[in-house]
């Protein structure tokens, strides 16, 4: 098991580009000798919501886990600017997985857990938990065992727990893939609120309509390579590659 | 055959009348086993949790040793504890041989590997499930251990009950280090062995029945725990 890898924080280049949330420089990654990411170079801006798209096996989840520090690049560097808030947080990047990982505790205790790890006082925890429950529309489920919630409610809880940490970057790995439209709507609403509050959102989705609805810029990955990274409108007007066009058309990509 | 039938009748009579000698033996058995299991759980849970979280050279060797110790014959362990606690042994000065404390020590050494191994098995499953979540929070190893122990609390209770089942039915080691002294170190299993060899089958049977009841009770408790609503909702 790997410990969380500390992404390299700040560089001269980053100081010169304060609007960058994440920067990949020649990042490569392999498993068992199979190259899964090929010399990735990209810069993801601090503002807005970046959608990562691409077919299965494109390397999207690996890309996201590298930003989260859960995987270490084989070569190259990932730069993440420092947290400029006054309070040093234990985790400046939060991640929500496709299958929510919930503790065997009540709904409110799940949210309180991450706040406790950050060292907040009991009073602050109670206040933040209450606010998070309202935002996730789970206030009437506060004392329920978290794992008894429906799939949509569980994901909303995972979202609330990630957001309550106050991280500057929130990563979502197909977080709405298994949700019904109502829960998807609530999650998107939460994403929107967080984005407006200044949280950088980077999320993976296969849902083209969702990408159009939520994203500000699209990063398209195919076979471990970035084929496009454009503002949303530009990407959907001109995907820039046959592979991206085929993906959007729902055709099989070779 | 008639003798056995009579023994059963006398055994039930002893149980019904809560015979003082019988109750004394049962109480000491429970006392020794509960203390031993409690201490074994503290040590075993710590070992199991540490092995599930920390990765270090030699970890696999330790796991193999713990698994091997689970199969250690109790009489051999009893002999080792006897040598340690005997007058000429390194701990002889403590004067613990033939005391309930010696029996507790022997049971702790016997049960701790079992508790550690089962705890490791339970926690590794939880650690796999929570690994990325923990790392995304940058938890310290100590915080991971604390969280895992709490998350696996129902599974660990089952581990504790398994340890108790092993302890209460143990005879070889406690016989050697306890000496089976009447009113001092006589417990159910050693008393059964003694009374059977003496031909006093009634007391032996009564104790046997109680042991079986304990065994059934422990298994029933494990099953009840697994199917309890509280466990189910946190599954």
Q: Is the pLDDT of residue A61 over 50?
A: yes
Of B129, B138, B235, nearest to A101 by CB-CB distance is: B129
B1: in domain = no
> What distance in Å separates the CA atoms of residue B70 and residue B167, rounded to the nearest whole number?
13
How close is the nearest chain A Cα to the Cα of B130, in Å?
7
What pLDDT, on the 0 to 100 scale, is given for residue A63? 96
What pLDDT, on the 0 to 100 scale, is given for residue A108? 97
Mean pLDDT of B2-30: 84
B6: in domain = no
What pLDDT, on the 0 to 100 scale, is given for residue B218? 85
- Which CATH number characterizes residue B191's domain? 1.10.3720.10
How close is the nearest chain B Cα to the Cα of A109, in Å?
12
Q: Is B124 on the interface with A (CB under 8 A)?
A: no
What pLDDT, on the 0 to 100 scale, is given for residue B177? 95
Q: Is the pLDDT of residue A14 over 70?
A: no
Both tokens assigned to A34: 């199979």
The residue behind tokens 């689970």 is B70
Q: How many residues does chain B have?
A: 235
Q: 3-class SS at A105?
A: coil
ipTM: 0.85
Mean pLDDT of A55-83: 90
Phi, psi of B161 (to 5 degrees): -65, -35
Locate the chain A residue with the closest alpha carbon to B53: A1
Of A70, A113, A145, nearest to B136 by CB-CB distance is: A70
> What distance in Å separates the CA atoms of residue A182 and residue A150, rounded to the nearest whole number?
12
Chain A residue numbers with beta carbons less than 8 Å from the beta carbon of B127 are 1
Chain B residue numbers with beta carbons less than 8 Å from the beta carbon of A117 are 137, 139, 143
Of B137, B147, B233, nearest to A90 by CB-CB distance is: B137
Q: 3-class SS at A37?
A: strand
- Which of B29, B38, B53 is closest to B115 using CA atoms? B38
Banded pLDDT at B230 (limits 50, 70, 90): low
Q: 3-class SS at B9?
A: helix
Q: Give the A window 55-74 contacts with B, CB below 8 Å.
A: 65, 68-70
> What distance in Å separates the CA atoms of residue A110 and residue B93, rounded to the nearest whole number?
52
> What distance in Å separates the CA atoms of residue A199 and residue A166, rounded to the nearest whole number?
8
B9: in domain = no
Angle of CA points B98, B99, B101, to nearest 5° = 130
Q: Is the pLDDT of residue B136 over 70?
A: yes
> What distance in Å separates the CA atoms of residue A44 and residue A114, rounded to the nearest whole number?
27
What pLDDT, on the 0 to 100 scale, is given for residue A16? 47
DSSP for B159-180, written as a single string:
HHHHHHHHHHT--HHHHHHHTT
Q: Is B12 on the interface with A (CB under 8 A)?
A: no
What's the longest Cα–Cα distance across chain A?
Answer: 56
For residue B185, with 0-12 CB atoms within 10 Å meaning exposed, 13-18 middle and 19 or more buried, which class applies?
buried
Q: Is A143 on the interface with B (CB under 8 A)?
A: no
What pLDDT, on the 0 to 100 scale, is given for residue A80? 86
How close is the nearest chain B Cα to the Cα of A115, in Å?
10
B49: in domain = yes
Banded pLDDT at B2 (limits 50, 70, 90): low
Q: Confirm if A227 and A243 have CB atoms less than 8 A apart.
A: yes
Of A1, A97, A114, nearest to B137 by CB-CB distance is: A114
Quote the pTM value. 0.84
What pLDDT, on the 0 to 100 scale, is given for residue B219? 85
Q: Is B138 on the interface with A (CB under 8 A)?
A: yes
pLDDT digits (tens, 9 = 90+) for B189-211: 999 999 999 988 888 888 888 88
Q: Is the pLDDT of residue A76 over 50?
A: yes
B3: in domain = no
Locate the chain B residue with the closest alpha carbon to A148: B233
pLDDT digits (tens, 9 = 90+) for A136-176: 999 999 999 999 999 999 999 999 999 999 999 999 999 99
Chain A residue numbers with beta carbons less than 8 Å from the beta carbon of B233 are 145, 147-148
Specify the higher pLDDT residue, A43 or B7: A43
Chain B residue numbers with beta carbons less than 8 Å from the beta carbon of A68 are 136
Of B55, B131, B234, nearest to A104 by CB-CB distance is: B234
Q: Give the A window 76-105 contacts with B, CB below 8 Å.
A: 90-91, 93-95, 97, 101, 103-105
For residue B92, with 0-12 CB atoms within 10 Å meaning exposed, 13-18 middle and 19 or more buried, which class applies?
middle
Q: Confirm if A220 and A226 have CB atoms less than 8 A apart.
A: yes
> What distance in Å separates the CA atoms of residue A27 and residue A40, rounded to the nearest whole number?
5
Tell me how many domains chain B contains: 1
pLDDT digits (tens, 9 = 90+) for B77-121: 999 999 999 999 999 999 999 999 999 999 999 999 999 999 999
pLDDT digits (tens, 9 = 90+) for A200-238: 999 999 999 999 999 999 999 999 999 999 999 999 999
For residue B192, with 0-12 CB atoms within 10 Å meaning exposed, 13-18 middle and 19 or more buried, which class applies?
buried
Q: How many residues does chain A have?
A: 254
B7: in domain = no
B164: in domain = yes
B12: in domain = no
What pLDDT, on the 0 to 100 scale, is given for residue B22? 87
Q: Distance between terminal CA atoms of chain B?
A: 50
Both tokens assigned to B90: 């390194």
Total CB pairs under 8 A between chain A and B: 48
What pLDDT, on the 0 to 100 scale, is given for residue B233? 65
**Which residues span the domain enclosing B203?**
20-234
What pLDDT, on the 0 to 100 scale, is given for residue A86? 35
How close is the nearest chain A Cα to the Cα of B133, in Å?
7
């Amino acid at each position: 098991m790997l410990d969380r890898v500390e992404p390299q924080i700040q560089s001269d280049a980053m100081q010169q580009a304060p609007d960058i949330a994440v920067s990949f420089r020649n990042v490569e990654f392999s498993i068992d000798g199979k190259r899964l990411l090929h010399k990735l170079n990209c810069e993801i801006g601090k503002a807005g919501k970046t959608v990562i798209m691409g077919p299965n096996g494109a390397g999207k989840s690996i890309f996201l886990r590298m930003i989260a520090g859960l995987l270490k690049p084989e070569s190259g560097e990932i730069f993440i600017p420092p947290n400029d808030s006054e309070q040093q947080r234990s985790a400046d990047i939060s991640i929500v997985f496709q299958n929510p990982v919930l503790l065997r505790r009540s709904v409110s205790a799940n949210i309180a857990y991450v706040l406790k790890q950050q060292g907040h006082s009991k009073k602050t925890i109670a206040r933040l938990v209450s606010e998070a429950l309202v935002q996730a529309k789970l206030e009437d489920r506060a004392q329920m065992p978290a794992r008894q919630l429906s799939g949509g409610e569980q994901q909303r809880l995972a979202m609330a727990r990630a957001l309550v940490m106050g991280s500057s970057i929130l990563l979502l790995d197909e977080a709405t893939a298994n949700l019904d439209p109502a829960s998807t709507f609530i999650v998107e609403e939460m994403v929107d609120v967080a984005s407006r509050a200044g949280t950088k959102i980077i999320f993976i989705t296969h849902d083209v309509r969702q990408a159009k609805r939520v994203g500000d810029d699209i990063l398209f990955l195919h076979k471990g390579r970035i084929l496009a990274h454009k503002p949303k409108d530009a990407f959907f007007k001109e995907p820039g590659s046959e592979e991206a066009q085929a993906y959007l058309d729902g055709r099989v990509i070779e | 055959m008639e003798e056995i039938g009579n023994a059963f009748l006398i055994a039930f009579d002893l149980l019904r009348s809560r015979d003082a000698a019988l109750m004394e033996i049962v109480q000491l058995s429970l006392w020794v086993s509960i203390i031993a299991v409690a201490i074994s759980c503290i040590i075993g849970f710590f070992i199991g949790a540490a092995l599930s979280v920390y990765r270090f050279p030699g970890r696999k060797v330790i796991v193999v040793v713990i698994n091997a110790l689970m199969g250690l014959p109790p009489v051999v362990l009893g002999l080792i504890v006897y040598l340690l606690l005997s007058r000429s042994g390194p701990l002889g000065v403590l004067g613990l041989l033939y005391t309930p404390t010696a029996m507790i020590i022997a049971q702790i050494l016997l049960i701790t590997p079992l508790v550690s191994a089962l705890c490791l098995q339970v926690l590794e499953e939880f650690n796999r499930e929570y690994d990325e979540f923990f790392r995304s929070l940058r938890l310290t190893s100590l915080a991971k251990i604390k969280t895992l122990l709490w998350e696996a609390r129902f599974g660990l209770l089952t581990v504790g009950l398994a340890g108790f089942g092993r302890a209460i039915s143990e005879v070889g080691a406690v016989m050697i280090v306890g000496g089976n002294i009447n009113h001092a170190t006589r417990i159910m299993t050693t008393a059964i062995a003694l009374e059977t060899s003496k031909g006093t089958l009634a007391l032996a049977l009564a104790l046997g029945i109680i042991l079986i009841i304990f065994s059934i009770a422990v298994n029933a408790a494990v099953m009840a725990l697994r199917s309890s609503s509280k466990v189910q909702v946190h599954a």
